[in-house]
A = this chain, B = another copy of it.
């Protein structure tokens, strides 16, 4: 590989000048610039990515912010890994690298600083929650016209670019599927209320119930934290009231499978199980015994879409264009689909 020294000699300038040209530092005569660039070209001199990035202010990195809890094996959670695969697929196609950053649940990210420090050209935010600190950080990002996209979280009244799936429809379909078969005593194991995804599932459940001239029994509305363990814990509650419950709808497959596992641990035979409907349609749903009816969420496609929006529409375009784009409210809702399996059939 050609050295800076050789470029300097060929261009007839000092090495410092070569660096200053390639780093875009300080005032430089056009003539000098031309000579240096010509020499670099001729010798195939490749300055460090940092130097080139410094010159064109692009890192070539697509940022992905992931929620982080020590010892919680986050990438194992089906939907994070699927979305990251979709994001990675699109990034790879576009020759960008993924810069994966972790944030603790209570930490307020200084997203803007990541752009100022030119670590990333655009940012996808996973696992955001609707709290004031988070909101302020995202609003600042938008004001400064940095390209970003929020996934699986809706900020009402904001004009952020968001990619999500239609969880109201998905949950409504799940309940309709149960009520259409005559199930009446339906328990709903939801996730924490701090996620818009949980709130949307609850809305869908209530709509589905109303359509069947039913109401959700408050004593059958249970809350877990989307972990399998929280499902196993809920199983105790469900086992105690088994005669009052003929169906269970869980807000994700992990919790549904946790409940099934918990019932088995308590010696309840599968033929005495209530009907089960899960959510996500993860690998585990198909492999479950009985195979688990579940609401399919196109996580992989959601990841690809978020990356495409940012890479094609944002990173390419000039800042002015960027801010005008991100001031347009765009919430992209991908369709969900109920996949019926044995667990929910009378």
Could you tell me the distance between the alpha carbons of A261 and B287 in the complex, rounded to whole angstroms? 7
Copies in the assembly, this chain: 2
Q: List residues of chain B with CB within 8 A of the CB of A76.
A: 78, 81-82, 85, 283
Asked if residues B100 and A97 are in contact (CB atoms below 8 Å), the reply is: yes
Could you tell me the distance between the alpha carbons of A50 and B59 in the complex, rounded to whole angstroms? 8
Q: Does A92 contact B (CB under 8 A)?
A: yes
Q: List residues of chain B with CB within 8 A of the CB of A16.
A: 20, 25-27
Q: List residues of chain B with CB within 8 A of the CB of A84.
A: 75
Q: How many residues of chain A get a CB closer than 8 Å to chain B's CBs?
A: 59
Q: List residues of chain B with CB within 8 A of the CB of A14.
A: 26
Q: List residues of chain B with CB within 8 A of the CB of A51.
A: 54
Q: List residues of chain B with CB within 8 A of the CB of A25.
A: 16, 19-20, 23, 25
Select A89's contact among B60, B70, B116, beta carbons within 8 Å.
B70
B-binding residues in A (CB < 8 A): 1, 14-17, 19-20, 23, 25-27, 46, 48-51, 53-54, 59-61, 66, 68, 70-71, 73-76, 78, 80-82, 84-85, 88-89, 91-92, 97-102, 116-119, 228, 257, 261, 283-284, 286-289, 300
Q: What are 28 inter-chain pairs, A to B, with CB distance below 8 A?
A: A1-B116, A14-B26, A17-B26, A19-B25, A19-B26, A20-B20, A20-B25, A23-B54, A46-B117, A49-B117, A54-B54, A71-B89, A73-B300, A74-B88, A75-B75, A75-B80, A76-B81, A76-B82, A81-B81, A97-B100, A97-B119, A98-B100, A261-B286, A261-B287, A283-B284, A284-B284, A287-B288, A289-B289
